[in-house]
Structure 1
Amino acid sequence: MKVTSLDLNLLVILDAVLEEGSVTGAARRLDLSAPAVSRALGRLRTAFGDPLLVRSSRGLKPTAHALALRPRVRALVEDARNLLGPAEEDAPAAWCRSFTVLAPEDLIGCFGTDLLALVRAEAPGVQLRFLGEGRAADEGAAVREGTADVAIAVNASKEADLRSEGLVREPLLGVVRAGHPLSSGEVTAARFAAWEHVVVSRHGRLRTAVDRLLEAEGVRRTVAASVPGFATALRLVAAGDLVGIVPAALAGPLADPLELVTFPVPLDVKPLRVSMLWHPRHDDDPAHRWLRARVREAAGRRTAP
């Protein structure tokens, strides 16, 4: 394939179709007509000598060749945007672009509102696209491939090829419904373990570090359920006698509406480490630096006292 036979606009369209999984979604994202995107996809198939995307019950499914191309296409598109994007002296108010933020839904709930408000106040032409973790195999892959501009992760391991910045250390609190026996009096490890618990694990684990801490105190707990998010755990706690452990920043806003009571966990439970991840290729992009500053500011607003 000759380089001159493929223009940058086609790569932008390929990137959008691979991300959206549909011609209609890519057209909407790029403000193009669906027939225009279909024609571009036809040219791309000819240029690469591969179907690239095939129909499935869930939309368009990328071929093996398309999956191999995806990170390289995304990197090329991102490099072009950085090259042709706003100069450092351009004011954010003049920008017209989007940023993609990958984060657990609970974290989006904690400070997504503040982040959006900060972004819109300075750059009304900027759009934020929040993605849940289900849209990427992991946070590192998302920022490497360009699926996300930044990822906000909990207890993330450091990776040599990525930038990582700590945002907050979020303390954990015990939580029960109002009127639960643990809502009053001293909560000891024995009292804490005597009630059934709901745990939070995006991988469905039923045993956590809390179990090891309890066993060190000579007691065991019964885990009734595992759920993927803290907001769901809070609703299960509110509906019965289960005990939960949740971040203070999330428990605070939801305690009154759900009629919950929080208390210190009677164990040496480590706070959650919330970090921001990004790829080094964005280090010197003025707009990306601005986004990282807004994420930092939004996280700071939600730091629990």
Structure 2
Amino acid sequence: MNIDDLDLDYRLLRLFLTIYDQGSVTAAAVLLGVGQPTVSHGLERLRHVVGDPLFVRAGRGITPTAHAHDMAPRIRHMLEDMRSLTRIDQFDPNNPQHSLHCTIGANDYEAAVVLSALFACVQSLAADITFKIRPVRRKQDMVDKLRDGKLDLAITLDYGGNASDIMQRSLFDENVQCYFDPRFHPNPPDTLDRYCAASHARIVFDDDDEASAIDAALAKRGRSRRTVLQVATFDNLPRLISGTPVIATLPIRLADSVMAGYAVCRCPVVLPSYRFCQSWHVRNAASRSHQWLRDEIFRIARVIDVKKSGL
């Protein structure tokens, strides 16, 4: 008789384990809610598949064979694995048995404004939560890394894409303002003339030296500014322009972190606000731990918004 190994299905393995635990075919039938002939037929089928009697007579009852004793713990573990396929794992940040290990794509602005608050928050939680922060320089780079699993989540400017496998949630809108050392600017650079007369520092993330939105807006008005310093990160800029007349036009939310200690004024170049979002691949959409993380980031973003509005 040719028996296929795949004849070992879930019901047959559960039947074996119930007989093993109950020590009786009759008791197993009662627990499973089926007739005794059904259990006896299943056991006979299992014997053929395994090639071992599995249970033998012992007085008025039955006792497992040595092979059945060997099978039982492995089948128990196998059934638990099979059950886990049909339920979504729960996540409790206050449960020390739960864990979340996440790689987040973010640059230093997002790290200063959002991730610093997130990291401080998780230190008081009992779950094993760890983060890896990776830079994201281009929108397509973010999408590619989310797709191939190199990133679990990204916090960036709205990438403006329509990829069906990338999900996104808005966090907040941001604007810019001027940062400067008041010792070198008794009159804040809040007029177009003073702004254009000043020396400027700017952030350039990519290797190419493209004109920024500010330069484009100035050009439309027949004006320009002189850029004397370009850096690739926000963190380096305040140290470099400290004690100089150089001004920087940067996001408002950096005033309490990266640019703390600098005087500020409105930017005389009117620009539209820009939106920051968190993005993730659909594979992580139903993950309880990832849902908790995304909700926590959104909560932090709402707190940030309230602080900015002064409400």
TM-score by structure 1 length?
0.65
Q: Percent identity?
A: 20
- 2:262 alignment partner AA: L
The 1-side partners of 2:210 and 2:193 are apart by 19
SS of the aligned residue for 2:151 comes to coil
The 2-side partners of 1:125 and 1:136 are apart by 30
Residue in 2 that maps onto 1:245: 249
Give deviations 1:93-114, integer Å, cap 9, x for gaps. 2312311111012211222221
| Residues 135 and 165 of structure 1: CA distance in aligned 2, closer, same or farther (over 3 Å) | closer
The 2-side partners of 1:292 and 1:120 are apart by 17
The 1-side partners of 2:109 and 2:251 are apart by 10
Residue in 2 that maps onto 1:139: 142
The 2-side partners of 1:129 and 1:301 are apart by 23
In structure 2, which of residues 150, 161, 183 is the aligned counterpart of residue 179 of structure 1?
Answer: 183
Residue in 2 that maps onto 1:93: 94
Deviation at 1:116, TM superposition (A): 1.5
Deviation at 1:195, TM superposition (A): 1.3
- The number of residues matched between the two structures is 221
Map of 1:105-254 to 2, 5 A cutoff? 105-133=108-136, 138-161=141-164, 162-181=166-185, 184-185=187-188, 187-204=190-207, 205-254=209-258
| Residues 123 and 165 of structure 1: CA distance in aligned 2, closer, same or farther (over 3 Å) | farther
SS of the aligned residue for 1:115 comes to helix
The 2-side partners of 1:85 and 1:240 are apart by 60
| Residues 143 and 83 of structure 1: CA distance in aligned 2, closer, same or farther (over 3 Å) | farther
| Residues 186 and 153 of structure 1: CA distance in aligned 2, closer, same or farther (over 3 Å) | closer
SS of the aligned residue for 2:161 comes to coil
Residue in 2 that maps onto 1:277: 279
Give deviations 1:96-145, integer Å, cap 9, x for gaps. 23111110122112222211133344453121222223799721111111
The 2-side partners of 1:137 and 1:278 are apart by 13
- 1:235 alignment partner AA: R
In structure 2, which of residues 288, 291, 294 is the aligned counterpart of residue 289 of structure 1?
Answer: 291
The 1-side partners of 2:133 and 2:125 are apart by 19
Larger radius of gyration: 2
Give deviations 1:236-270, integer Å, cap 9, x for gaps. 332411121111111233444xx411110011122
Deviation at 1:214, TM superposition (A): 1.3
The 2-side partners of 1:266 and 1:136 are apart by 29
The 1-side partners of 2:130 and 2:194 are apart by 48
Deviation at 1:187, TM superposition (A): 1.9
Structure 1's consecutive aligned runs of 4 or more residues displaced over 4 angstroms after TM superposition are 82-86, 134-137
In terms of fraction of residues, the more helix-rich structure is: 1
Map of 1:68-107 to 2, 5 A cutoff? 87-88=89-90, 90-94=91-95, 95-107=98-110
- 1:102 alignment partner AA: G
Q: Does structure 2 conserve the Cα–Cα contact (< 8 Å) formed by 1:103 and 1:130?
A: yes
The 2-side partners of 1:186 and 1:195 are apart by 8
5+ unaligned residues in a row in structure 1: which ranges? Answer: 1-81
Q: Does structure 1 conserve the Cα–Cα contact (< 8 Å) formed by 2:197 and 2:225?
A: yes
Q: Does structure 2 conserve the Cα–Cα contact (< 8 Å) formed by 1:101 and 1:150?
A: yes
The 2-side partners of 1:244 and 1:267 are apart by 13
Give deviations 1:196-238, integer Å, cap 9, x for gaps. 2111120142521111211223321111122112222233332
